[in-house]
């Protein structure tokens, strides 16, 4: 695309964004064009030492636009051929006709995700330069597929991997598929939040010394709550043992793009870093990135093979184009936008702290239970002091104030601010929380502290993969499951951390917690029974 045309496309895009985005300081407009159009060779703030690159480019999106405008008569997939009429209800939902943009790789006019050679390869290289990685892979199945590919590319059947018990369900899926043996870091619950928020360097050191045959470490940082472990120190420790460090950074794709935010695991030289670009940067849901640092502990070809095995062979060009556009936007104006987000987050946090009966956690968390840093854009709002569970508070905010939180647990609601937020949206949140505190108080809130997640690790008698694939099973009631080996996971959601996984014995204290959790409004995933009344066990 010629530079003068490219500038006009960017100008029109940013014009819309500038109209919608207002600075928290006296509603002063935020002009972000200056950064994008400062020169024809705009460079990323995270160039990782490579030659300056023009981050205003969107090579894959540009190639799609050329193909769309070419408008050939189609005798190939997809079946709608770009012309099939949508039902009016679907058009109303989409807001436009997406068929014409739903392009597939045909006759090499559109670069192919699983063997990129042209525009998509260039787009991925621009992403690597923007985020500071040696190489970047675009993902169309979210961080889920990134976590699976990361683990399966490094660890094989019977090999050990250190991981927190509080890992995402996709990590456990990778354990099943790879046949790896998990070495769990025991959860260390924060005394107030009631959740294992981070992993200490010492906990990792102990396990590395106890298991010298470990192949890799997989950590989640930041987690759902926006809490980070000391990835820099853990990375140095892992590498001193010749062990690869894999980081699920799904909730931290924006880290490293502004100096006042915590650093990304990419800049701290973790070997594989998986980011959900859609979660915090604004690409379309299911689009994500896997970043690779070439430290000699990960085989790049193996990573590509795993991604090709696990992802669809018919990748969505719409999702890939979204990644290309989002990278361009964040590389050229992400720092300015994140500065606004930071100011908004501080304003909301300070206001909540002054609201009677509510509390929003902040830097006081650092230093407790291995917590190294927090993401300021994640608002952990305690509601127990007004007698509400997080689940109930979330329900009230949605039904009465049309405010949707990121997720809720027994004690807190968690709200996520991004570059899409403005003073208007954050004021709506503040007003809703004020009304919640004033009009929805309950007198008794002691019950919220009665039961917490069980301490320690469950007893494991069969490895995860063997238990998952066993055919000797039977289904019993939850009560009858006590004392038996499970063949399915029981995962309280949110935040999706397994209470029990295949191969482990369910005990009475697990059942007690489940009953309590469900009674307070939580729900479970991983179980075949949607009513949570029965569980599948090994039939002996």
CATH code for position 364: 3.90.1150.150
- Report the chain's mean pLDDT, rounded to a whole number: 88
pLDDT at 51 over 90: no
Backbone angles phi, psi at 469, to 5 degrees: -95, 0
Q: Which residues pair with 474 in a beta bridge?
A: 537
Q: Which residue has the higher pLDDT, 71 or 140?
A: 140
Backbone angles phi, psi at 160, to 5 degrees: -95, 145
Domain end call among 300, 327, 354:
327
Integer distance in angstroms from the first to the last C-alpha of the chain? 66
- pLDDT at residue 523, rounded to an integer: 85
pLDDT at 75 over 90: no
Q: What tens digit of pLDDT does each residue of 235-261 get?
A: 999 999 999 999 999 999 999 999 999
Give the pLDDT mean for 302-326. Answer: 97
- pLDDT at residue 414, rounded to an integer: 97
Q: What tens digit of pLDDT does each residue of 349-383 get?
A: 999 999 999 999 999 999 999 999 999 999 999 99
Give a yes or no: residue 55 inside a domain: no
**Domain of residue 421, residue span:** 337-442
Which residues, other chains included, contact 209 with Cβ-Cβ below 8 Å and sequence gap of 6+?
A: none
CB 273 within 8 A of CB 133: yes
In 132-269, which residue ranges form alpha helices assigned H by DSSP?
A: 142-154, 169-178, 201-210, 231-240
- pLDDT at residue 447, rounded to an integer: 60
Indicate the number of domains in the chain.
Answer: 3
The first and second tokens of residue 74, run together, are: 């189609």
> Quick one: what percent of the chain has pLDDT higher than 70?
88
pLDDT at 7 over 70: no
Q: Tell whether 522 and 472 lie within a shared domain.
A: yes
Give a yes or no: residue 393 inside a domain: yes
Q: What tens digit of pLDDT does each residue of 174-212 get?
A: 999 999 999 999 988 898 898 889 999 999 999 999 999
Q: Tell whether 179 and 284 lie within a shared domain.
A: yes
Backbone angles phi, psi at 171, to 5 degrees: -70, -40
- pLDDT at residue 497, rounded to an integer: 76
- pLDDT at residue 517, rounded to an integer: 86
Q: Which residue has the higher pLDDT, 523 or 36?
A: 523
Residue 93 CB-density burial (10 A; 0-12 exposed, 13-18 middle, 19+ buried): exposed
Q: Tell whether 194 and 255 lie within a shared domain.
A: yes
pLDDT at 473 over 90: yes
Task: Give the range among 68-82, 108-122, 257-271, 400-414 with minimum mean pLDDT.
Answer: 68-82
Domain end call among 301, 327, 353:
327
Domain end call among 327, 355, 389:
327
Which pTM does this prediction carry?
Answer: 0.89
- pLDDT at residue 38, rounded to an integer: 38
CATH code for position 486: 3.90.100.10
Q: What tens digit of pLDDT does each residue of 216-227 get?
A: 999 999 999 999
Give a yes or no: residue 13 inside a domain: no
Beta strands in 209-269 (DSSP E): 214-220, 227-228, 244-248
């Amino acid at each position: 695309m010629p530079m003068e045309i490219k500038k006009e496309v960017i100008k029109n895009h940013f014009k819309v964004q500038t109209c919608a985005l207002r600075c928290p300081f006296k509603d002063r407009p935020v002009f972000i064009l200056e950064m994008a159009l400062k020169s024809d060779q705009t460079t990323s703030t995270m160039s990782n030492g490579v030659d300056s690159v023009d981050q205003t480019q969107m090579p894959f999106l540009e190639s799609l636009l050329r193909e769309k405008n070419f408008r050939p008569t189609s005798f190939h997939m997809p079946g709608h051929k770009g012309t099939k009429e949508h039902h009016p209800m679907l058009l109303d939902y989409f807001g436009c006709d997406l068929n014409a943009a739903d392009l597939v790789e045909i006759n090499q006019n559109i670069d192919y995700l699983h063997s990129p050679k042209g525009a998509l390869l260039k787009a991925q290289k621009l992403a690597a330069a923007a985020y500071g990685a040696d190489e970047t892979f675009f993902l169309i199945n979210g961080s889920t597929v990134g976590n699976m590919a990361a683990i399966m590319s490094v660890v094989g059947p019977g090999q050990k991997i250190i991981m927190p018990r509080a890992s995402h369900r996709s990590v456990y899926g990778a354990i099943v598929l790879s046949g790896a043996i998990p070495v769990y870091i025991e959860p260390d619950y924060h005394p107030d939040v009631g959740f294992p928020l981070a992993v200490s360097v010492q906990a990792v050191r102990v396990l590395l010394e106890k298991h010298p045959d470990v192949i890799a470490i997989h950590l989640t940082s930041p987690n759902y709550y926006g809490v980070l472990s000391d990835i820099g120190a853990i990375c140095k420790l892992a590498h001193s043992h010749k062990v690869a460090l894999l980081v699920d950074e799904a909730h931290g794709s924006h880290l490293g793009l502004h100096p006042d935010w915590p650093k990304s695991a990419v800049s701290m030289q973790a070997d594989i870093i998986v980011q959900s670009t859609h979660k915090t940067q604004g690409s379309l849901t299911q689009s994500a990135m896997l970043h690779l640092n070439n430290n000699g502990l990960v085989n790049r070809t193996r990573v590509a093979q795993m991604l090709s095995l696990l992802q669809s062979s018919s990748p969505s060009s719409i999702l890939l184009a979204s990644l290309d556009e989002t990278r361009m936007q964040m590389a050229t104006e992400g720092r300015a936008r994140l500065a606004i987000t930071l100011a908004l987050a501080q304003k909301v946090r300070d206001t909540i702290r002054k609201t009677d009966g509510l509390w929003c956690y902040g830097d006081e968390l650092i230093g407790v239970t291995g917590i190294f840093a927090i993401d300021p854009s994640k608002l952990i709002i305690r509601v127990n002091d007004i007698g509400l569970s997080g689940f109930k508070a979330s329900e009230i905010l949605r039904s009465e104030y049309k405010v949707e939180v990121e997720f809720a647990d027994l004690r807190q609601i968690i709200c996520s601010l991004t570059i899409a937020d403005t003073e208007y949206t954050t004021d709506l949140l503040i007003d809703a929380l004020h009304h919640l505190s004033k009009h929805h108080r309950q007198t008794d809130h002691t019950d919220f502290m009665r039961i917490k997640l069980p301490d320690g690790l469950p007893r494991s008698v069969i490895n995860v993969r063997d238990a998952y694939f066993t055919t000797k099973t039977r289904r019993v009631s939850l009560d009858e499951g006590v004392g038996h080996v499970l063949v399915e996971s029981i995962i309280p959601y949110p935040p999706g951390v397994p209470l029990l996984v295949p191969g482990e014995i369910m005990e009475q204290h697990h059942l007690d917690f489940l009953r309590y959790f469900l009674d307070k409004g939580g729900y479970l995933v991983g179980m075949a029974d949607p009513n949570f009344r029965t569980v599948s066990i090994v039939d002996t």
